[in-house]
């Protein structure tokens, strides 16, 4: 019969054995997951924007997501491009302008991705068939 050495029986210094570390890591993971989900879901809800057309006239636009939420743009990219392509002119142009402004000022989208996103927004406005060949969104 082979007996385990004393090193395998005694705990390693600095690491507490037992359930405490496991529960602490699970709790940290759950908190981080909840914060990340909250950040992403904050922009998932449709955003209603009221655009003034004239002094007496206003139009209500139902955006697919808040254009200031860049993580939502990255997740719901096709939905955003579909909205820029298919919504009425006033709403889609306002949404596209806000998207462009936020993409240019974003730290999450860098370099070539910024230019590709801006090109996609322009193609969605002016040449939707070209964009559809790349994204296959309808």
Domain count, the chain: 1
Rounded Cα–Cα distance for residues 83 and 97 (Å): 13
Structural domain that includes position 80 = 40-135
pLDDT band at 96, cuts 50/70/90? very high
Quick check: is 22 in a domain? no
Of the given ranges (16-20, 66-70, 76-80, 92-96), which has the lowest mean pLDDT?
16-20
Quick check: is 106 in a domain? yes
Give 113 or 37, the one with higher predicted confidence.
113
Q: pTM of the full predicted structure?
A: 0.61
Quick check: is 16 in a domain? no
Taking CA atoms, 84 is separated from 19, 26, 105, 111, in Å, by: 52, 41, 20, 23
Rounded Cα–Cα distance for residues 21 and 53 (Å): 59
């Amino acid at each position: 019969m082979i007996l385990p050495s004393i090193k395998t029986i005694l705990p390693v210094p600095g690491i507490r054995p037992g359930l405490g570390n496991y529960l602490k890591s699970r709790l940290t993971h759950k908190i981080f997951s909840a914060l990340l989900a909250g950040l992403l879901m904050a922009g998932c809800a449709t955003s209603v924007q009221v655009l003034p057309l004239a002094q007496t006239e206003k139009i209500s636009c139902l955006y697919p997501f808040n254009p200031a939420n860049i993580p939502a743009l990255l997740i719901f990219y096709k939905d955003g491009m579909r909205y820029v392509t298919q919504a009425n002119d006033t709403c889609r142009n306002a949404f596209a302008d806000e998207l462009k402004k936020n993409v240019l000022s974003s730290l999450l989208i860098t370099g070539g991705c910024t230019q590709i996103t801006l090109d996609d927004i322009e193609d969605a406005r002016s040449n939707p068939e070209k964009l559809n060949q790349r994204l296959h969104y309808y």
